[in-house]
Chain A
């Protein structure tokens, strides 16, 4: 028994020695991950403390569930959860439909030059930062000077004060989301179509299938694995909003918070603007835990249907 243990130990040391160079090479990344990812993970218990900046993390007093009580009793909790999940769900579904449709249409174009040109142009907005996109949107939506109100006037319609009417913003955000991301998403699905074995399609055509039958029965089913992985990744992050988008597009206008405030912007404002750190930590805890559950659940569901398509 004793010799068995030492043998195991000796073996372990041997394995370590043999691979220590590779471990050493991994070390810088491991250290960075520990500092910037793993240490903050433990900080999540801050949600049960009343953070006092002068006392620091360890000495701040425990307050149990007080932070959560305040957070969930406020109107904000419901609003920001609804906005985050609702808008993200809208983005996922619309993004999927439009970009798969674009990929299929792109595949119908025979000349490479056109495919390349369209792809380049569609990909272009993806390279702009949200600050820059915020400026562009301002040029379009400005009440008095903006292009959109000028167009409305040409058609004899009343100009709309876009930055003070929150009801328009889900649609505006959806359009800008599609504008910025469809190019990049369709590139991925287009690559998926390129990966389909040509013989399958040729065989179907020989058997007398028309274009729509081929799309319905071959191309779409063959895209299912990529679609699943992409959608799964997005559903896993449905509780996380793109901060830059929700901060810079509505231009930090308070009147638009009812439809544009999401968990991420709420936490930032609570931390840096209004100083409600308790609320911020509670909202952050809520986001992290439910977010993790979302990833695990969606991965579990996919694993049940098709093992190969799961992320882990």
Chain B
């Protein structure tokens, strides 16, 4: 239900709609621009600049990007693996501690809450964090892309808020039936909290899918580069490639090398899956954000 004051006049209504339509278009336009560039021919771009509508469709950029598909497919695989493991372990680890914190009869609730929330208030900064992880022999393993983000105070707070809505009577009756805490958690609490788990699961998916930071710091091996970091490196690599070709005399004409278009094609490939997934899951996000902002 809207909190309607009274019917706004037709003029006011149309002004409000105009504002939102303009902003909406502004939000979508850059994506259309990137798609359009990736589908243009390079010579078209060089002559006319970036255009919202390509004068003729060309798939050259995608052909170049896929001419050596191993790296891209591999990066997709790494990102999917990291996100998948991250969701499973992240949900399990964060929801277990969140459940303990949601229980009013848990004696260490206060101390543990402080322990968790303090990580949001203070940290040692990049250098010590970098050194600690380097010392753990984690760099250049898949685990360095997962472990540092697993335990997250924010997700714990959101999950705790969800768990708090479950009546204590359900938990107590399970206890009387002889169930131990862990069994109660798996068999009763988790199935009752599916919306909460979906919400936090999506936050985790987004976090891992869009991450380049861990790879930037700790990954040197080509075979472990996730999608976003590949995209970040592609920016300079394509430049390097085309410059070298340009300098070598008698080789390709620069305008034939899809420099700008290949870059944008790569951008579409990295953002693509999120763009498709996003409309379906938006409502979970809204719920999670609303819960997270109201303190539990």
CB distance from B62 to the nearest CB of A (A): 16
Minimum CB–CB distance from B141 to chain A (whole Å) comes to 15
Q: How far is the CB of B171 from chain A (nearest CB, A)?
A: 11
CB-defined contacts of B93 to chain A, threshold 8 Å: 28-29, 32
Task: Map CB proximity to A onto B111-127 as digits: 1 under 8 Å, 0 otherwise.
Answer: 01001110101111111
A139 close to B30 (CB less than 8 A)? yes
Flag whether A255 is at the interface (Cβ < 8 A): no
The residue that A267 contacts in the complex, of B105, B127, B228, with Cβ under 8 A, is B127
Q: Which of A1-9, A73-81, A181-189 is found at the contact surface with chain B?
A: A181-189
Instruction: Kindly state the separation between the CA atoms of A24 and B108 in the bound complex, as whole angstroms.
Output: 12
Interface size class of A (residues with CB under 8 A): 35 or more
Query: Would you call A271 an interface residue if the criterion is a C-beta within 8 Å of the partner chain's C-beta atoms?
Result: yes
Choose from B50, B121, B129, B294 the contact partner of A145 (Cβ within 8 Å): B50
Scoring A residues 32 to 51 as 1 if CB is less than 8 Å from chain B, else 0, what string do you get?
Answer: 11011111111110100001
Please, how many angstroms separate the alpha-carbon atoms of A136 and B181 in the complex? 50
Contact between A131 and B108 (Cβ–Cβ < 8 Å)?
Answer: no
Chain A contacts of B148 at CB under 8 A?
36
CB of B121 within 8 A of CB of A236, answer yes
For the complex, is B7 an interface residue (Cβ under 8 Å from A)? yes
When the two chains form their complex, are residues A135 and B127 in contact, meaning their CB atoms are under 8 A apart? no
B130, B228, B279: most-surrounded residue (chain A CB, <10 A): B130
Q: Which of A188, A211, A267 contacts B125 (CB 8 A)?
A: A267
Q: Which of B1-37 contact A (CB under 8 A)?
A: 1-8, 12-13, 16-17, 19-20, 23-24, 26-28, 30-31, 33-34, 37
Near B by CB (< 8 A), chain A positions 128-147 give 128-132, 134-137, 139-140, 142, 144-147
B178 contacts A by Cβ under 8 Å: no
Smallest distance from the beta carbon of A20 to chain B beta carbons, Å? 9
In the assembled complex, how far is the CB of residue A123 from the closest CB belonging to chain B, in whole angstroms?
6
- A248 in contact (CB, < 8 A): yes
Check: B245 CB closer than 8 A to any chain A CB: no
Among A29, A102, A184, A281, the most chain B Cβ lie within 10 Å of the Cβ of A29
- Indicate if B260 sits at the interface (CB-CB under 8 A): yes
CB of A43 within 8 A of CB of B127, answer: yes
B151 lies within 8 A of A43 (CB): no
Give the chain A neighbours of B119 by CB distance below 8 A: 33, 37-38
Whether B295 is near chain A, meaning CB under 8 Å from some CB there, is yes
B23 touches A30 (CB 8 A): no
State the CA gap A124–B279 with chains docked (Å): 8
Q: Which residues of B contact A119 (CB under 8 A)?
A: 282, 286
Mark each residue of chain B from 181 to 209: 1 if its CB lies under 8 Å from any CB of chain A, else 0: 11001000000000000000000001001
Q: Can you list the 7 inter-chain pairs with the closest CB atoms, starting with the nearest?
A: A43-B128, A284-B125, A129-B210, A40-B124, A21-B181, A32-B151, A29-B97
For the complex with contacts A33-B115, A129-B228, A311-B295, 12 further pairs of A-B residues with Cβ separation under 8 Å are A25-B97, A25-B181, A43-B131, A44-B124, A107-B2, A110-B7, A139-B264, A179-B27, A188-B290, A198-B3, A201-B3, A291-B122
Give the A-binding residues of B (Cβ under 8 A): 1-8, 12-13, 16-17, 19-20, 23-24, 26-28, 30-31, 33-34, 37, 45-46, 49-50, 52, 92-94, 96-97, 99-101, 103, 105-108, 112, 115-117, 119, 121-133, 135-136, 147-148, 150-151, 156, 180-182, 185, 206, 209-213, 217, 228-229, 231-232, 235, 260, 263-264, 267, 270-271, 274-275, 278-279, 282, 285-286, 289-290, 293-295
